[in-house]
Structure 1
Amino acid sequence: MNPFEPWRTLVTVVDEKSVSKAALKLRISQPAVSQQLKQLENLYRTPLFIRGHRGLSLTEAGRTLYEEALQIIIHIDRSFELVENCSNRLAGTLAIGASMTIAEYVVPSALRRFRSVRPQVKVKLTTGNTDDIGRGITDGDLLLGLVEAPLYDTRLIQEPFLTDELGVVIPTWHSLRTRTSVALTELQNDRLLIRESGSGTRSVFEAALKMEGLDLRNFSIFLETNNPQTLKSLVESGYGISIMSKWAVRKELNMDQLAFVPIESKAAARNFSIVWHQSHSDDQLVQAFCEELRQLNHAELG
């Protein structure tokens, strides 16, 4: 028996004005109802009912307990609901880490979808480069990561969810604008502006260089930054050119503020990936958010 049933029984008897009706509503026997009422009187050491030929009526103590029992039931029911939600992970807080490009261009659509199926869940979003996100997951600060390059930790599970490609981002007046693709060797005489070490974009770019037998020492690096917006502004101003995700410059391409030319390298194609620690594989919030990411498509992302 639920230890709080006597209080619910008390309220039901008073509301129904009958032990027999309360028993039917509670689906228990009339002797069980009478026994629970007696338990309350023994617990509070005072009569709660006046038993007469017309039935039961409340004493002053009974009326006081009835009002309190109403609140007790509300709080008890609420406590069960809250604990169940935590156990089932239907509510709570989901700590997500996302690399810069994904945070700006993918996460808003993903969160919009997620809110429709988990409206009570609060999200804590942290942005950083791919290495930062990986450390956050392994350290337990993040439940889920969205990254632009592979993480080399066997404790992490990684699942691709969206395709991307790197290309050369240039001012609209640049001579390369009319090209359909460009070889990395053609960029060696340009002023190159790049992302910081540890970023997914930097990692993929360096992998593409390695495939061509090149490294950053073969290029004129004039600036490194962890801010994609800064890179775009500098490229638009004519300060140099950059290597960036096509997702990162969609808005500027549509407004004809920048131009994008694909790189002639298989390594320039990449996936955005969902990452979580293997110990969180059964976490319902993690899996629910992953499912919404899997359902994303390019049209939804604009």
Structure 2
Amino acid sequence: MEDHRLKAFCLIVESRSFSKAADAVFLTQSAMSHLVKSLEDELGVKLLYRRGREVRPTPAGELLYRHARQLLDHYRKMGGDMDDLVGRVQGPLSIGATATAAAYLLPEVFYGFSKQYAGVVLQVKVESSEKIVQDLREGRIEVGIVEGDAKDFPFHAVGIAGDEIVPIVSDDHPLAGSESASVGDLASHALILPEAGSASREFLDDFFRKAGIPPEEVKVRMTAGSPELIIQMVQSGIGISFLSKWSVFRAVKEGTIRILQVSGAKLVRDFCMVSVEEVPITAAARAFTAFVRGYRFFMPF
């Protein structure tokens, strides 16, 4: 029942791009332009400025965006109420997940949930914890799976699985023959770390601070957002890194990298499920959060 023109318009405003918005809903850019033009003709105002490849809303566009978001939220709630009325669990479910959670923690969850709720179409966005919180706030996703402490998130959050961050080295690295290393020893080698500003990087920066090592004095050789890329760079000998046990399991099993223990310390954190409300709006989101809360996660090793 929702006006697809409003949904398209909101996507364009949020992504600041016709092409990104078009890709998100599998339409052509010309189709997106036609939808916006239809709105502009109906309202008699210009809604968007185009500056090169970037798109920004006009004052009229900003006003429409605020009302459109509220309308789309009401449409979604109405759909959820109708599903509840007839006991139906179906439709799209937008989920945000960090790279580690999406690649290593959730595939079996998605498989089990999809098998039980075949009418639900999972729409998974892989992004940073910060972006997931932003998307929850702006209504672009209903559920987020992130790393961190549940009490640190501005919405309802519950821990769903444990995690441990471990130092990893290539099998021919000077530290490879050691079972453990001090924080100082690790910091003295070239490091491959998560991107600055990410939740994982802040976690590691805090770890170094607590050990008396200012993060700016750590020898960062490279930063990357992909756990798989970091593992490959460690294997190539560029440096050492710190990653979730969930993400290094396969490489450790294959013998291409080795795990070290940190002398006198253990880097532990949680994976959390986050939603704006304790009881999500749609039946699909409620079914998913209940499924995840009841799922038994086991640390790889």
Shorter-chain TM-score: what band? 0.5 to 0.7
* Contact 1:137/1:144 (<8 A) preserved: yes
Structure 2 partner of 1:177: 176
* Contact 2:149/2:269 (<8 A) preserved: no
Structure 2 partner of 1:234: 233
Q: Distance in 2 between matches of 1:89 and 1:139?
A: 26
* Contact 2:156/2:277 (<8 A) preserved: yes
Q: Distance in 2 between matches of 1:265 and 1:278?
A: 39
1:298 positional shift: 4.2
Structure 2 partner of 1:115: 114
Q: Distance in 1 between matches of 2:289 and 2:130?
A: 20
Q: Residue 242 of structure 1: SS of its match in structure 2?
A: strand
Structure 2 partner of 1:213: 212
Structure 1 partner of 2:185: 186
* Contact 2:90/2:283 (<8 A) preserved: no
Residue 105 (1) aligns with residue 104 (2): yes
- For structure 2, which runs of at least 5 residues remain unmatched after alignment? 1-79
Seq. identity, %: 21
* 1:40-51 pair list within 5 angstroms: none
Structure 2 partner of 1:243: 242
1:151 positional shift: 7.2
Q: Larger radius of gyration, structure 1 or 2?
A: 1
Deviates more, 1:101-110 or 1:192-201: 192-201
Structure 2 partner of 1:148: 147
Shift in alpha-carbon separation, 1:119–1:178, aligned structure 2, 3 A:
same
**Alignment root-mean-square deviation, CA:** 2.7
1:116 positional shift: 2.5
Structure 1 partner of 2:52: none
Shift in alpha-carbon separation, 1:154–1:229, aligned structure 2, 3 A:
closer
Amino acid paired to 2:212:
G
Q: Distance in 2 between matches of 1:145 and 1:184?
A: 32
Q: Distance in 1 between matches of 2:258 and 2:169?
A: 5
* Contact 1:106/1:301 (<8 A) preserved: no
* 1:22-41 pair list within 5 angstroms: none
Structure 1 partner of 2:196: 197
Deviates more, 1:291-300 or 1:223-232: 291-300
How many aligned positions are there? 222
Shift in alpha-carbon separation, 1:122–1:243, aligned structure 2, 3 A:
same
Q: Deviations over 1:118-156 (max 9, x none)?
A: 111001000011111111111110100000124777641
Structure 1 partner of 2:270: 271
Structure 2 partner of 1:225: 224
* Contact 2:142/2:280 (<8 A) preserved: no
1:267 positional shift: 6.5
Shift in alpha-carbon separation, 1:148–1:278, aligned structure 2, 3 A:
same
Amino acid paired to 1:262:
Q
Shift in alpha-carbon separation, 1:210–1:141, aligned structure 2, 3 A:
same
Q: Residue 223 of structure 2: SS of its match in structure 1?
A: strand
Structure 1 partner of 2:286: 287
Shift in alpha-carbon separation, 1:89–1:264, aligned structure 2, 3 A:
farther
Q: Give TM-score, length-normalised by structure 2.
A: 0.66
Deviates more, 1:216-225 or 1:123-132: 216-225
Deviates more, 1:133-142 or 1:266-275: 266-275
Q: Give TM-score, length-normalised by structure 1.
A: 0.66
Q: Distance in 2 between matches of 1:130 and 1:276?
A: 13
Amino acid paired to 1:231:
I
Q: Distance in 2 between matches of 1:156 and 1:240?
A: 37
Q: Distance in 2 between matches of 1:95 and 1:274?
A: 13
1:117 positional shift: 2.2
1:183 positional shift: 2.5
Q: Distance in 2 between matches of 1:278 and 1:264?
A: 41
Q: Distance in 1 between matches of 2:84 and 2:197?
A: 35
